Structure 1
Amino acid sequence: MEIQILNWLQSLHTPILDKIMQLITHLGDVGIIWIILTIVMILIPKTRKSGVIMAAALIVDVILCNVILKNLIARVRPYDVNTAVQVLVAKPKDFSFPSGHTAASFASVTALYLAGEKKLWKPALALAILIAFSRMYLYVHYPTDILGGVIFGSLSAWIGYQCSKKMFNIFQVERP
């Protein structure tokens, strides 16, 4: 069923949409857009606590999703199952579940939401959804990889938020 969904997405391809999806997916490569946002927020005193929460969420995400789950589940990528599809990006060398791009994106969005960043979390959510969709469009993840990324990324943010709250209490820092 999942391959059928991905194959249907292949019918949406146009040269312009291909370029847009490649650009969007590259924003999520190694979580770069979220790492940059985290660093900027940490550097600005007004958003420093939110930046710390995002950093904690991304650290938990890397450990949970990229180190533990991907290797434990070891799911083969869709382009290795259907070799007839031409992949438009460099083929990732790691396993498929959960989607790391999606997990980092939703860890960041959820961290922003939990930190009370009302102006940031909504546009970040829109970007996270686009990044997640691009991973299926580009045939590098199954829909359940994306769903797993949403769930485990959000869980990572919650864990990161709880750890940050404890740290803020230990160091007598006001929570956001």
Structure 2
Amino acid sequence: MKRASAFEVRQTFVALLVSATGFIVCAILAQSNWIEPVELWVLRLIYGVSGTFAPLVYGITQMGSVGAWLVLVCMAIALRRKQIAAVLFTNGLLAYAVASMAKFMVARPRPSVLYPDIVVRLEVGFGYGFPSGHTAIATALALGLHPYISKKYHWILWAWIIAVGLSRVYLGVHAPLDVVGGFCIGVAIASATRLAVLSYTQSSKKA
């Protein structure tokens, strides 16, 4: 294995450990009220922005939906980028599955249930709030594309993640901690699949 690849493996493994640990911490905090004052302040700061932008933000939030995931997978297949298609399919599926399971395990209500003055904007928020599935999917997809995109365009991927995360809070369907938890899931999944790809690539070279 080349030095650069060895560094990437170590870096990706650290990202996996940190994000997994971060999710556990977020899950614990979500079931307590330790940081509620700070989280509520951030929630009201973002949600407090004029509702005039709701239609635009609703469009942005769809970039973390199952529909966006399927469109990206189909685009990769159409462009005959088999490895990218496989990574995107795997990342999106795992992000959706893990986030869905975590919702039932943590069972944290959505902001509109916790705080009566928070009214959902345009979006339909059902089920539990923690973690944000949209943020998990957007993060897993964006970071899945990260190794295949020129570095000068990496900022677009991060802007995608941040925009979806903020949109979930603005629309009133998630609290900030929900978004951070979803981000941690996305990072962990993208890191795990990247390690799998690197391992497969290395073993193929040896064969």
Scaled by the length of structure 1, what TM-score is found? 0.82
Q: Which is worse superposed, 133-142 or 50-59?
A: 50-59
What's 1:86 paired with?
119
- From 50, 69, 84, the equivalent of 1:13 is 50
- From 89, 102, 118, the equivalent of 1:55 is 89
Letter in 2 for 1:117: I
> What residue ranges of structure 2 are gaps of 5+ in the alignment?
1-36
What's 2:141 paired with?
108
Cα displacement string for residues 23-79 of structure 1 (whole angstroms, at most 9, x for unaligned residues): 2113333x322321122112212x22112111111122122212x211111111111
Percent sequence identity is 23
Residues 106, 42 of structure 1: CA spacing in aligned structure 2 closer, same or farther, 3 A cutoff? same
Structure 1 segments, 4+ long, off by >3 Å, are 119-122, 162-170
Over the residues paired in the alignment, what is the CA RMSD in angstroms? 2.3
Total equivalences in the alignment: 167
- From 111, 125, 140, the equivalent of 2:173 is 140
What's 1:26 paired with?
62
Tell me, in whole angstroms, the C-alpha distance in 2 between the residues paired with 1:20 and 1:75: 27
> What residue ranges of structure 1 are gaps of 5+ in the alignment?
none
Who wins on radius of gyration, i.e. which is larger? 2
Tell me, in whole angstroms, the C-alpha distance in 2 between the residues paired with 1:70 and 1:100: 9
| Displacement after TM superposition at 1:88 (Å) | 1.0
| Displacement after TM superposition at 1:14 (Å) | 4.2
Contact 2:141–2:190 at 8 Å: present in 1 too?
yes
Cα displacement string for residues 119-154 of structure 1 (whole angstroms, at most 9, x for unaligned residues): 765423322211110001111111111111111111
Tell me, in whole angstroms, the C-alpha distance in 1 between the residues paired with 2:135 and 2:107: 17
| Displacement after TM superposition at 1:103 (Å) | 0.3
Tell me, in whole angstroms, the C-alpha distance in 2 between the residues paired with 1:161 and 1:56: 11
Tell me, in whole angstroms, the C-alpha distance in 2 between the residues paired with 1:137 and 1:86: 10
Alignment of structure 1 residues 156-175 onto 2, 5 Å: 156-165=189-198
Scaled by the length of structure 2, what TM-score is found? 0.71
Tell me, in whole angstroms, the C-alpha distance in 2 between the residues paired with 1:107 and 1:122: 15
